[in-house]
A and B are shown apart, each in its own frame.
Chain A
């Protein structure tokens, strides 16, 4: 050990730097001077945007950072007389978070260079206090997005209420819904409507419930049977209400049968197995798969295709879209699912919200190209998008 220290010391005195491999083999952690410099400028402050109880420390590296073992952090509350060690870091580190403080109590900190168990103290920091915040400043951009989008939505919903007709481009899958229901009626076979495998807290499931309402109304008009299997208990409760209401709205509540809406099981593939059973035994003429789906999508869609049913799918699950596209006659892709209830119902309020969505996307495009372009003129707006 001593010999190496001496060598290292000699190396420092040499006018020519040693070859890098020699330095590596000598390990840079060896002491070069008897007492290393202490770190300087210790600043302590409350960590912003948090629930309190944390003080952040920052300091600048010891001039002998390369030769020390690390840093120790010491703390004392104003009433304490002595500093106690609360933690340590590796060398090269200039930040520390003290997570064990009490809110509203001032603390002072010292950071020390560590070498061979000995500590070389910095000047104490100015006293700092932690406290919890009531607003997260790092999330202002999210707040602005929410406010802006809510206003946009409100504006178009109100505007739509005044009766202005809003245009929506044709969505192929939806234009086929009428045909699908009619076909089942002609064949005297039921219609299968799978409202996805997501629970009610998935927005896709809510969107599916809206479409189910519209489909059920057509079914009530056409006089065919309906099967709605459910994977979740809450979804089951909701879809039953939705279907019942559709039959009431069409003036034929007596046509609604309890057995139309069923609970199956929460097990993903148990559910898929049961749907396969329904498709091969009850032979629905039309299958709807609308909502949130996972891997079971193709099990159902391919079995349905083999039974020769007419199939309309709709999902926002990006991964399942390719399978629905290849096994179904029509597929509502991504956002089309959310446009569907507006399209089918033609309800002005829903059409208005679609308009708001379009403006949202327009804003996204503007932001994308705006920030990209300005960055080439030296204006970096990227941090605007960053969320903490």
Chain B
């Protein structure tokens, strides 16, 4: 076997081992690479920034499962910090059956973090007043449409079993008219249904925090204005964390920032292997071995 054949047919297990090493390494060797904010992240931040306090609510659809937690969970936390710090009420709900555990985790951990920093009673976050988590519902599109009539019709009780009508916040939030924007945090193309159904029928504003892979699919919708802002992947989450920190809504960065270093290493590794493969292929073809 010639050298060029060898580098064109490296066993995949070698790649796998190198990749594992590189993903672990940055956890122990710290470097910080500054980053630029993407316009779509800025757009979402600006939109939330423009909502008047104690007015219409932000509806967050927690639709990610534990698999995409590293990307979507920091987004949820950063967004919640932003809303709570600006006194914007939050209505949480989920259409992915695997999401409620994570949604509760995000809501409760941000609530605790803010409460621990609150100096006055008014600054602390109260369930039912500052936010409500409605829980999970099957029949996604059906439920989304139904909420245009009455949220209480779809969710007669919240996640914890309280009657919706008994919650103070829900006295002011009846349907989409009282929702400034719906932000979908998802790993699947759930936002398209929000665009196709509630937005087309009720004119709901839609924004999203999506895994990096889902995000590009929404670029066309971003350009047409059907999507009012977008966080894409770990990078988007890290950017939103940075914005929230810079505007004084939080006192530390989240977990998305640290992950970006492993990212850089692995991208370099994959590119290196693509180059090796092509060099091998090129020389093998020159030697007349590989078919065109």
- Is residue B286 within 8 Å, beta carbon to beta carbon, of the partner chain? no
Supposing A269-B67, A306-B12, A387-B200 touch, asked if A295 and B217 sit within 8 A by C-beta, the answer is no
- Is residue B101 within 8 Å, beta carbon to beta carbon, of the partner chain? no
A269 to B96, CA, bound (A): 14
- Given A295-B187, A319-B214, 17 more A-B residue pairs with CB atoms under 8 Å apart are A99-B177, A267-B98, A268-B65, A269-B67, A294-B188, A294-B189, A295-B188, A295-B211, A295-B213, A306-B12, A318-B217, A319-B189, A319-B213, A319-B216, A319-B217, A387-B200, A388-B203
Which of A267, A306, A319 gathers the greatest number of chain B CB atoms within 10 Å? A319
Q: How many of chain A's residues touch chain B, expressed as a range?
A: 10 to 19
Kindly report which residue of chain B lies nearest to residue A292, judged by CB atoms.
Answer: B189
Residues of chain A within 8 A (CB-CB) of B217 are 318-319
Please list the residues of chain B having a beta carbon within 8 angstroms of any beta carbon in chain A: 12, 65, 67, 98, 177, 187-189, 200, 203, 211, 213-214, 216-217
Residues of chain B within 8 A (CB-CB) of A388 are 203
Interface string of A292-325 (1 = CB under 8 A from B): 0011000000000010000000000011000000
Which of A99, A267, A269, A295 gathers the greatest number of chain B CB atoms within 10 Å? A295
Judged by DSSP, the binding face of A is loop
Residues of chain B within 8 A (CB-CB) of A295 are 187-188, 211, 213
Chain A residues 265-306 with CB under 8 Å of chain B are 267-269, 294-295, 306
A318 to B98, CA, bound (A): 25
Kindly report which residue of chain B lies nearest to residue A387, judged by CB atoms.
Answer: B200
Kindly report which residue of chain A lies nearest to residue B98, judged by CB atoms.
Answer: A267
Residues of chain B within 8 A (CB-CB) of A267 are 98
A294 to B177, CA, bound (A): 32
Q: Name 19 interchain pairs, CB-CB below 8 A, sorted by A.
A: A99-B177, A267-B98, A268-B65, A269-B67, A294-B188, A294-B189, A295-B187, A295-B188, A295-B211, A295-B213, A306-B12, A318-B217, A319-B189, A319-B213, A319-B214, A319-B216, A319-B217, A387-B200, A388-B203
Task: Please give the distance in Å from B83's CB to the nearest CB on chain A.
Answer: 21
Residues of chain A within 8 A (CB-CB) of B203 are 388
Ranked nearest first, the 5 interchain pairs of A and B with the lowest CB-CB distance are: A319-B217, A294-B188, A318-B217, A319-B213, A269-B67
A306 to B12, CA, bound (A): 9
A267 to B217, CA, bound (A): 23
Residues of chain A within 8 A (CB-CB) of B98 are 267
Kindly report which residue of chain A lies nearest to residue B67, judged by CB atoms.
Answer: A269
Chain A residues 52-99 with CB under 8 Å of chain B are 99
Residues of chain B within 8 A (CB-CB) of A387 are 200
Kindly report which residue of chain A lies nearest to residue B214, judged by CB atoms.
Answer: A319
Kindly report which residue of chain B lies nearest to residue A97, judged by CB atoms.
Answer: B177
A268 to B96, CA, bound (A): 11
Kindly report which residue of chain A lies nearest to residue B141, judged by CB atoms.
Answer: A201
Residues of chain B within 8 A (CB-CB) of A294 are 188-189
